[in-house]
Structure 1
């Protein structure tokens, strides 16, 4: 009996020895949104990612999340992820500064709806864009989340078509693409850093700005802006990024856990963003904002005014074939 017990024990020890023993690994993930997962798209995505990774790896992988810009803005997070001092980040418009091809997603009026954008980003085009950005940045795109469609607000008058923007000073991000877009529609683009926007709106330095509905509501822009135009001129995507050198050094099993969790997290972020947009729109109306929804014909006017100028500018920054590929992918997705 003793010999049998010893034999069984030896077998168990031998089996245990054959299982790969991976050291515990800590992943660091930073983003600029609030931590509250009920109202924050990146906050929700980060929570889901952390919970899934830690659970599926049985604690072998630990995820430390740094929300609310604790480690700096999006540009800082991108640089830190490239350096490897940060493992992962979720960023939107700032990514085009290091991967210019990502700017194709910000061609005005490119996406007719969120489902079309999801189809494009989750399909062959999104994969090709991620591979291109990997070559230039060293960051792997694990998935695409959503920051939502951007819309104009202002304190002067209702805007239903491009001519209504004439002479209005509109705050834009410090991004030449947005400067070209607003200028082409007759507005006066004024690049202002994000922390300075509330003061600029309050003091009248600018007449308006442009952001997703959820951002407009969360930042109480309804206290400074009377008019909202639901033109959805740019669809904002969140890039879920990881330092590729760190990722490639991980065991295949851990890579699979991370990749799978990132996709689920991105979908969660999209869902929260959609909820926030719907609730935010109702809340903005209740706060007294005058909301204008352009007709299909008026949206065509916006598109005709803005797209050519931005496409011309973008064609000088990247291989124009990327623009054509993006437009073809949108057409294919919209026709389904």
Structure 2
């Protein structure tokens, strides 16, 4: 018998055992040899935060208190682009993100080619395998160390306030918020929409005031950021699979002893694997809970959207941008695009 878990229930489970008395936490931080900061745009109750907080506690324990990893959710340390820049420069030790890294390492966004991955089996085979290894190696050339396992941000779906999205024609002229990178922007341009870049922290207000008419995000973020309060429809397009690499400043990482690196890597890898399972659990339950909250769901035929992109030259163009080697690795898992 399957058990569905609500976001609140999952948060309670994840939070158990992570919290400690403030005075003890301060004492641990003061005695730690390595004081590290981890920034993320995920909201504080998102599994991508809860599991990293768990990992931080485990790292502290496994290193005998030598490492104090402080986790800053909800873009407290700046937007994703800011945190990515800070991590490259060494002002920030760790952060996780997806799309913004493409401005520095273009192939870093290849996992987000629209309508590429049909299932999670293919996603994890690719990103835990050859394709992920190839991408991580490119980040090593720009001053970053990348942890071996990605966090799951989830398959992205389109939400709207005025009308449901049933086919590509429904996107024509739609003002839709997308992350500020060319892969997302060109995909929605090719589909006839009018993409607009807005920081995630400002998205709720932009939807509420109709600066944009829609947006696209995974269900877990639609829920945790309460975007369903200002959006009526969710089209389960699953148009992009979005994952977050966990980045570390390479100088900071290489300056830590091997035993410290091993403890950090082991626990962050464990956190990523648990977080993936959390998202799968949430995806099973959120359609029901969001429907109860007043959202209307529909599931469009993805092939219609893929054909529009193909005819617009989207895949041909991005194959040239990413290069034959990377594209061949992608198609090893997705099939011909």
Report the TM-score when normalising by structure 2. Answer: 0.83
Matched, 1:325 2:329: yes
Q: Name the residue aligned to 2:196.
A: 190
Give the structure with higher Rg (CA).
Answer: 1
Give the structure 2 partner of residue 237 of structure 1.
243
Corresponding pairs, count: 304
- Structure 2, unaligned stretches of length 5 or more? 1-31
> Which runs of 5 or more residues in structure 1 are unaligned?
1-22
Sort the Cα spacing of 1:210 and 1:286 in 2 relative to 1 into closer, same or farther, 3 A.
same
Instruction: Give CA-to-partner distance per residue, 1:269-301, whole Å, 9 cap, x none.
Output: 21222233333221221122221112xxx2111
Quickly say closer, same or farther: Cα 1:68–1:201, change in 2 above 3 A: closer
In structure 1, the residue matched to 2:145 is 139
Equivalent pair of 2:177/2:216 in contact (CA under 8 Å)? yes
Cα distance in 1 for partners of 2:125, 2:320 equals 27
* Offset of residue 331 of structure 1: 4.2
2:44 aligned to which of 29, 35, 46:
35
Greater mean deviation of Cα atoms: 283-292 or 134-143: 134-143
Aligned counterpart in structure 2 of residue 302 of structure 1, from 305, 316, 321 = 305
| Aligned ranges 1:200-215 → 2 under 5 Å | 200-215=206-221
Distance 2:333 2:143 in 1: 24
Q: Does 1:155 align with 2:161?
A: yes
CA 246–167 in structure 1, closer or farther in 2 if over 3 Å, else same: closer
Map of 1:63 onto structure 2: 69
SS of residue in 1 equivalent to 2:150: strand
Q: Does 1:279 align with 2:285?
A: yes
Please tell me whether the aligned partners of residues 147 and 269 of structure 2 are also in contact (alpha carbons under 8 angstroms): no
Is the 1:101–1:133 Cα contact (8 Å) retained in structure 2?
no
Q: Which residue of 1 aligns with 2:234?
A: 228
Aligned counterpart, 2:122:
116
Report the CA distance between 1:317 and its aligned residue. Answer: 3.7
